[in-house]
Amino acid sequence: MKFRNFKMVDYVVYGRGCFDQLDEILAPQRKGDAPMVYLLDHYFETNNELKARIPIRGNDILVIADVTHEPKTSYVDELAQMLKDKAGTVSGVIGIGGGSAMDLAKAVSIMMTNPGKAQDYQGWDLVKHPSVYKAGIPTLSGTGAEVSRTTVLTGPTRKLGMNSDFTPFNQIVLDPALIKDAPANQRFYTGMDCFIHCVESLKGTFINEFSRSYGEKAQDLCEEVFLHKSEWNDESDEQLMMASFAGGMSIAYSQVGVAHAVSYGLGYLLGTKHGIGNCIVFNHLEEYYPEGVATFHKMVARNNIYIPEGITKGLSDADFETMINVSLGMAPLWENALGKDWQSIMNKEKLRALYEKL
């Protein structure tokens, strides 16, 4: 038995208002005139209050990151090239936003020190050199991107992360006040990503006590905020932020499962975003996760959320084939969900039937 030795985030600061310590945290990381680069989720483009609190010093660069779509390898290359042309080298890349903005920051920081194109590093342990310093600051909680060892990217031929020991952030800043104003729908879809991480980790065959300890806590916190509390308050933000962190820690040492494997196919073909895509799929996974799906349905009803239906209506055979191939390509996810003999349980016909339900 060989156990995974996984790389974690170097530093974590947690607390309401801790974002204002960013200047002090970054000061020792500054290398001469080389700028700090802030990749700010375009959701905050007109939020002057937040922008004014970003510690822009000297020739620091603020980039409004277009995360209308989940990050593409071409966009990563474009941003890294722009920074090289503008500054030569940078002191660090700081991602402020949801999972996409944080993943973008990880990928760009890697491409500042690694040759070639971002697509060359989609896979496991392909990154050759340490990235420049990087920090992640979530403004939406649930994806676990703040703690993960990957950065999910859509490339010309596949949707796959740069999964490596050089991918986790050097620093994360967990300030619950920053997630306060997230739109309710968005907050729910992203929060459910966390809930689904927990169910898939806890019900998977890769589970161990390390993952279970984090997964159970994260699942409790999700149920607390989306099912049991009478109203959303400051404590809810704090709980959801820690749920995301713990959910991410849980899957770091296990794996996700059926909802993620199927949702990746939707994301690749239709551009469906991760959080809502997982909800669309999980909504129909009673066969695999009966208790989790029952709880999910209660949370959907309680929060008055619409989960889209019929999104694969009218797709061609070739389209279904594409989604099926992307999905079945995620072997570790299927193995975690269904065991070593997963191919005897899940096949193209069965998966097609599932996609047709969505």
The binding site for Zn ion (CB under 5 A) comprises 193
Burial zone of 129 (CB within 10 Å; 0-12 exposed, 13-18 middle, 19+ buried): exposed
Look-up of token digits 């342990």: 125
Least distance from C-beta 196 to Zn ion, angstroms?
7
For the record, the structure tokens of 9 come out as: 């985030």
Least distance from C-beta 194 to Zn ion, angstroms?
8
Q: Which is nearer to Zn ion, 152 or 328 (CB)?
A: 152
Least distance from C-beta 1 to Zn ion, angstroms?
27
Q: Which is nearer to Zn ion, 92 or 138 (CB)?
A: 138
Q: Which is nearer to Zn ion, 155 or 267 (CB)?
A: 267
- Name the amino acid, one letter, at 128: K
Q: Which is nearer to Zn ion, 54 or 187 (CB)?
A: 187
Least distance from C-beta 143 to Zn ion, angstroms?
6
Can you tell me the distance from the alpha carbon of 313 to that of 79, in angstroms, rounded to the nearest whole number? 36
Per-residue b/e over 35-53, b at no fewer than 16 CB within 10 Å?
Answer: bbbbbbbbbbeeeeebbee
Can you tell me the distance from the alpha carbon of 67 to that of 159, in angstroms, rounded to the nearest whole number? 16
Q: Which is nearer to Zn ion, 198 or 354 (CB)?
A: 198
Least distance from C-beta 212 to Zn ion, angstroms?
18
Query: Length of the chain, please?
Result: 358
Q: Which is nearer to Zn ion, 193 or 335 (CB)?
A: 193
- Name the amino acid, one letter, at 93: V
Nearest CA-CA partner of 53 in 25, 28, 23, 29 = 23
Position closest to Zn ion via CB: 193
Q: Which is nearer to Zn ion, 70 or 193 (CB)?
A: 193
Question: Can you give the three-state secondary structure of 144-207, one letter per residue?
Answer: CCCCCCCCEEECCCCEEEEECCCCCCCEEEECHHHHCCCCHHHHHHHHHHHHHHHHHHHCCCCC
DSSP 138: E
Nearest CA-CA partner of 242 in 212, 221, 216, 215 = 221
Least distance from C-beta 267 to Zn ion, angstroms?
11
For the record, the structure tokens of 84 come out as: 């090289």
Q: Which is nearer to Zn ion, 60 or 193 (CB)?
A: 193
DSSP 71: P
Least distance from C-beta 318 to Zn ion, angstroms?
27
Least distance from C-beta 75 to Zn ion, angstroms?
20
Query: CA dihedral in degrees (214, 245, 141, 230; nearest 10)?
Result: 40
